[in-house]
Chain A
Amino acid sequence: MRVGLFIPCYVDQFYPKVAIATLELLEKLGVEVVYPLNQTCCGQPMANSGFQSLSKGCSDLFIKNFNEFDYIVSPSGSCVLYLREHLSETGHHHPDYLGSRVYELSSFLTDVLQVKNLTGSFPHKVGMHQSCHGQRGLHLSSMSELVAPVFSKPGKLLNMIKDIELIALSRVDECCGFGGTFCVTEEAVSVKMGKDRVADHLLQGAEYITGVDMSCLMHMEGILKRQGSKVKIIHIAEILNGDTGEGNN
């Protein structure tokens, strides 16, 4: 099995440690992982702003970089959802459709690799943020609106980590308000949503906020830092890769 690693543009530029954790984790699990050097972005920033036509360059590049792989894995629910739904508007139902081979990291671990145990330890109180695109789009976990069985793929993985204490939130899956360009075009509402989401985690005594999407976490990190909070954000890949939370800043 050859896996292509797709790293979202803003993770590549601002959070390389999340990409490194993803790579190392997959390698530890015995996967042959390749990071094609000429990758950039999934194209979602333009498309979600109404300019899907301008993301064709990104789509073409993605196909060129990743078509050869059995699976493509990325530490982002949002980018993966976009690729699955929009990579090619014509090839959706084709059995070899590239988009259907793109996996968000945690669901790749639970569904494809069927990981049963992990070795890390994370002795902290952790709040799990449900990023909407991963949750409601990729069905990584059950949704509070639906009358359906409760499950969580990222939660299942986090529970394999020793000493971790996952806290319960009062609103289990409310959006953080990042929303791509929404975070600047609707600054007031975006920030208010982020403040409220962060407050829920703080109220329950979280030391860390984790999730499958760095974009949501980046937004909440910006708010936490402005508030002077000691609470940190950490991508799920870092915890699963054995980061113990010591030495984080």
Chain B
Amino acid sequence: MKVTTKEHAELAGDFNGDEDRVNWHDETLWWVRQKRDKVVHQLPEWEELRNAASAIKDNVLGNLHGYLQQFEAKAQANGITVHWAANAAEHNQIVHRLLNEHQVTRMVKSKSMLTEECGLNEYLHEHGIEVIDSDLGERIVQLAKEPPSHIVLPCIHKKKEEIGELFHQYLGTPLDVSDPQVLTEAARGHLREIFITRKAALTGVNFAVAETGEFVVCTNEGNADMGAHLADIHIASMGIEKLIPEKKHLGIFLRLLTRSATGQPITTYSSHFKTPRKGQAMHIILVDNGRTIQLGREDFRNSLKCIRCGACMNTCPVYRRSGGHSYHNAVAGPIGSILAPNLDMEKYKDLPFASTLCGSCSNVCPVKIDIHDQLYKWRQVLVKKGLAPTGKIVGMKIMGAALSWPAIYRIAGKVGRWTLKHAPFAVNNSFNPWYKQREMPVPPGESFGEWYKKNRTP
């Protein structure tokens, strides 16, 4: 991951330096949103599915301790070794130890946003272990030495020509070839070699079933299966919130997940892992990394219902026009903006403000997280913690005071309108971000209050 100290507004400003690219990015993701709309409107019971999923996840979050213990016992009975990691560092150490025990220095990994959150690739790289991401999009950003910009579509910010250049450089495809079919074939050949030769495979977990001790991994490329089935050791990393109580609940979540994510009725592969095959070791790492803290924050706990479909990103008009990297966090977009401050308020203090609070995110969320309300609430928390810029604090205090006193408000309004009329240069200049690309409203001769006094009061 690139280290950045810039905040969202500045990074989004940089992204908007190339308007054609912004248009392309916006339209690409809007197309995914439209696919989602089309497929959900085929299900008259869609809103009921959302309600059911939300209620099930509320139940999980309210009884997490019990479901975790149930899952652990069942998974162990199935022959899976269960590990607990309190934070990212512990998670990474556990993976490293397991690889050492099996004398493995090269691992293949299917998509896991949790490992992005934990910085696993960098950690293992520093310890001399090579990790190859096998999800095509993730492989592309890995070759480009960039973090994913989207949790479901990691390289959505890259055009096919740019991918062609990368493949030419790293995979030996001919120069200037950008045909997706050709590039995918090249990636397939390259990854097949990886799958066959790697002794360890790490996968994420979409759903873990407490009742049975099994877990489900959803991919469109079958790469999780290819990795896990060919490896001697399969490690699955999961956030502790990924549990569902019973297997039958998959009938709800699997219907919601990919319809929300990409507009498909179901993922191409929904793979159930329950027991290791003969001679294989299967490990599951249950990771907290701030989740129990979030669980304790009443206003924000239901952000843990998230099933990582990415629908809130595809619909977000801000995300579509600022790009995933502008969120400088493993999880971008609206959901990332309510999850990130839980991990580090100082570092991510800008993210809850990177929204117009339009509410589209909450409407597409398959588990009905009140995302935009939480953005509003995070703003209050961050300001109370003293994390607002000084200039903003001063400005807000002046504004709050002026608007509390009608006489001051009326004078300020009059002065403002007078200035705009008689000294427009005081307002229409480069210090005014409004004026940069927009005209100011034309000031009227009198306010409504003044008009009303003249025309309606005796």
Contact = CB atoms under 8 A, between A and B. Distances in A.
Interface residues of B, number: 76
A20 interface: yes
Nearest to A182: B356
Contact of A226 (B22, B405, B439): B439
Given A50-B379, A175-B358, A143 B403 contact: no
A175 B356 CA distance: 8
Contact of A17 (B26, B383, B396, B444): B444
A43 interface: yes
B417 A13 contact: yes
A102 B317 CA distance: 29
Contacts of A187: 9, 13, 433-434, 436-437
A98 B353 CA distance: 29
Nearest to B385: A50
B43 interface: yes
Given A145-B360, A186-B354, A188-B9, A57 B437 contact: no
A18 B406 CA distance: 21
A206 B296 CA distance: 50
Among A50, A193, A226, chain B packs the most CB atoms within 10 A around the CB of: A50
A165 B457 CA distance: 38
Contact of A193 (B43, B321, B409, B447): B321
Interface in A24-81: 35, 37-41, 43, 45-55, 57-58, 60-61
B245 to A, nearest CB: 26
B417 A178 contact: no
Contact of B437 (A52, A174, A186, A223): A223
Task: Tell me which of B436, B438, B452 has the highest count of chain A C-beta atoms within 10 A of its own C-beta.
Answer: B438
Interface string A7-22: 1010111111101100
B430 to A, nearest CB: 12
B46 A147 contact: yes
B37 A144 contact: yes
Contacts of B448: 7, 11-12, 16, 19-20, 35
A57 B43 contact: no
B449 interface: yes
A16 B447 contact: yes
B265 interface: no
Contacts of A37: 406, 449, 452-453, 457
A246 to B, nearest CB: 18
Contact of A178 (B12, B356, B440): B356
A15 to B, nearest CB: 7
A177 B30 CA distance: 16
Contacts of B433: 183-185, 187
B41 A52 contact: no
A192 B406 CA distance: 35
Interface string B423-442: 00000000001101111110
Contacts, number: 213
Contacts of A20: 448, 451
Contacts of B12: 186, 188-189
B441 A189 contact: no
A171 interface: yes
B380 interface: yes
Contacts of A146: 47, 363
A141 to B, nearest CB: 13
A232 interface: no
B19 A192 contact: yes
Nearest to B41: A147
A232 to B, nearest CB: 12
B392 interface: yes
Interface string B379-413: 11011100010001100110111011110010001
A196 interface: yes
B340 to A, nearest CB: 16
B37 A193 contact: no
Contacts of B359: 132-133, 136-137
Nearest to A7: B448
A101 interface: no
B441 A221 contact: yes
A45 B440 CA distance: 18
Contacts of A173: 360
B358 A136 contact: yes
A147 B380 contact: no
B428 to A, nearest CB: 11
Contacts of A193: 317-318, 321, 356
A14 B451 CA distance: 12
A12 B447 contact: yes
B352, B405, B446, B449 — most chain A CB neighbours (10 Å) = B449
B452 A132 contact: no
Nearest to B420: A14
Query: Which of A196, A219, A225 has the most chain B CB within a 10 Å cutoff?
Result: A196
B8 interface: yes
Given A12-B449, A137-B359, A218-B441, A48 B317 contact: no
B360 A50 contact: no
A4 interface: no
A7 B47 CA distance: 36
Contacts of A137: 359
Given A7-B449, A222-B439, 14 more contacts: A35-B448, A49-B392, A50-B352, A50-B379, A50-B382, A51-B393, A52-B380, A54-B399, A145-B363, A147-B44, A147-B47, A179-B356, A185-B433, A226-B438
15 contacts: A12-B448, A14-B441, A35-B449, A35-B452, A39-B406, A46-B399, A46-B403, A57-B401, A57-B405, A58-B403, A147-B46, A177-B356, A183-B433, A188-B16, A193-B321
Pick the 4 closest A-B CB pairs, nearest first. Answer: A57-B404, A222-B438, A179-B356, A54-B400
